[in-house]
Amino acid sequence: MDIHEYQAKELLSDFGVPIPRGGLAYSPEQATYRAREIGGDKWVVKAQIHSGARGKAGGIRVCENDKEIWEAADDLLGKRLVTHQTGAQGKVVYRLYVEEATNIDQEIYLGFVLDRKTERVMVVASAAGGMEIEEISASNPESIVRASVEPAVGMQPFQAREIAFGLGLEPGQIAKASETILGCYRAFRELDATMVEINPLVITKEKDIVALDAKMSFDENALYRRPQIAELRDKSQEDPRESYAADRGLSYVGLDGNIGCIINGAGLAMATMDMIKHVGGEPANFLDIGGGASPERVTKAFKAVLADEGVEAILVNIFAGINRCDWVAEGVVQAVKNTDITVPLVVRLAGTNVEEGRRILEESGLPILTADTLAEAADRVVGAWRDTKAA
């Protein structure tokens, strides 16, 4: 789960990370009021969407008076920002963050991520801040400083100091930078984050260290024990298909194809999508209904898939171990009866109670195509989709 910049800053501030003064605004009037609250003679108005590269898309404006703040807020609110991270569809701006301008002397990149290969928290830092880490890796790889954190003891102060020295900071800035690095690590660990990124972490002309931007992502499987984090979720920034499925306990990832997939098991789901592409189709989603696929759960899965207007055929592929094919078949029949399915439907069942499951489908009298193997199922659903398009 991702959160907004201002939310990440508030969380990091609780762990001792210095941030500029700022406030949230939902209207041009509120934006100008926030600037007066903050004080000063220059402010930055920032669009709050779940994406980086907002500045390149025109989502960050530097303002010097009330008129400029008003115009920036009026232009940004309701605007659809398109960045390389949002894709062509972009994301709509519903809120703004107004903060005091900072006298920047140096920009630093600082990131914390879970390295699954080493099973450690990896700290990545670079003196070439202000750019995406991919750009830094390509253009200035020698500037990158890396450190791995031993989970048994956590991040130690000497590691933070080594990172600060590796960034070439002045002696007087080492202690402040070390405190900031340790604060980010504590936030990462104690809030079950999967990513903390400050880009840029700036050194001001007054020699202070300030987090000018911040991103945080969290492990959704741990949200049950972090209710204060779960409350920060903004569904307006999420794929509505994925939000609908997640609220119903389904593992769903939306894709750009037109063959809807309802499958149990992540491995089988990946194999099914590969087979669909192999025979010339394009999967519209990854959907794993899990081990306990009751008829009600299967019906929810159908509704999640059909919520995607781009779906033009559906493939149900179930290998029943913990599941039972007759339960799944009952769910398919119930879903077809209770939902308005106007696209071709192919069902492939295998495993526990498979004969009973096939009998239920055959005797239902519904227009359900069946298949015995994965290859046959993929071929039939793509063929049915092509026939429908041709007709």
Q: Would you call 390 exposed, middle or buried from its count of C-beta atoms within 10 A (0-12, 13-18, 19+)?
A: exposed
Q: With beta carbons less than 8 A apart as the criterion, state whether 198 and 214 touch.
A: yes
Residue partners of 274: CB distance under 8 A and separation at least 6: none
Residue partners of 42: CB distance under 8 A and separation at least 6: 62, 63, 64, 100, 101
The whole-number pLDDT of residue 292 equals 62
**Residue 102 among known ligand-binding residues:** yes
Q: What is the mean pLDDT of each run of 10 residues along the chain (391 residues)?
A: 95 96 96 94 94 88 95 94 84 94 92 91 89 78 89 93 92 93 96 94 92 94 92 85 76 88 89 94 88 73 87 90 82 85 90 90 90 93 90 77
Token digits for 103?
């006298």
Read off the DSSP letter of residue 231.
Answer: T
The whole-number pLDDT of residue 96 equals 96
- The residue assigned the tokens 């007066």 is 36
The whole-number pLDDT of residue 334 equals 86
The whole-number pLDDT of residue 277 equals 94
Q: With beta carbons less than 8 A apart as the criterion, state whether 292 and 323 touch.
A: yes
**Phi, psi for 153 (deg, rounded to 5):** -120, -15
- 109 labelled catalytic: yes
Token digits for 142?
């020698």
pTM > 0.75: yes or no: yes
Closest CA to 298 of 335, 271, 339: 335
Q: Which of 5, 197, 312, 330 is catalytic?
A: 197
Residue partners of 250: CB distance under 8 A and separation at least 6: 287, 288, 289, 290, 297, 300, 301, 304
Q: Which of 5, 6, 97, 109 is catalytic?
A: 109
Which residue type, as a one-letter code, is found at position 304? A
Alpha-carbon span 105 to 82, nearest angstrom: 29
Token digits for 15?
């762990």
Token digits for 181?
């690095």
Token digits for 165?
């020295």
User: Which bin fits 187, alpha (ψ -120 to 50), beta or left (φ > 0)?
Assistant: alpha
The whole-number pLDDT of residue 142 equals 81
Q: Which helix (H) or strand (E) element contains residue 34?
A: helix 28-38
Q: How, if at all, do strands 91-92 and 96-100 pair?
A: unpaired
The whole-number pLDDT of residue 72 equals 95
Alpha-carbon span 64 to 352, nearest angstrom: 69
The whole-number pLDDT of residue 193 equals 95
Q: With beta carbons less than 8 A apart as the criterion, state whether 313 and 385 touch.
A: yes
**Phi, psi for 107 (deg, rounded to 5):** -115, 140
The whole-number pLDDT of residue 291 equals 62
Torsion (CA) 83, 88, 89, 91 in degrees, nearest 10: 0
Q: With beta carbons less than 8 A apart as the criterion, state whether 300 and 339 touch.
A: no
Alpha-carbon span 327 to 335, nearest angstrom: 12
Helix (H, G, I), strand (E, B) or coil at 334: helix
Residue partners of 338: CB distance under 8 A and separation at least 6: 299
Q: How far is CA 2 from CA 122, 201, 218, in A?
A: 19, 20, 7
Domains along the chain with CATH numbers:
1-19+103-238 (3.30.470.20), 21-101 (3.30.1490.20), 239-390 (3.40.50.261)
Token digits for 282?
């394009």
Rg (CA), the chain: 25
**Phi, psi for 65 (deg, rounded to 5):** -160, 175
The whole-number pLDDT of residue 296 equals 76
**Residue 353 among known ligand-binding residues:** no
The whole-number pLDDT of residue 204 equals 92
**Residue 10 among known ligand-binding residues:** no
**Residue 317 among known ligand-binding residues:** no
**Residue 46 among known ligand-binding residues:** yes
Token digits for 373?
């193997």
Alpha-carbon span 135 to 109, nearest angstrom: 12
The whole-number pLDDT of residue 11 equals 96
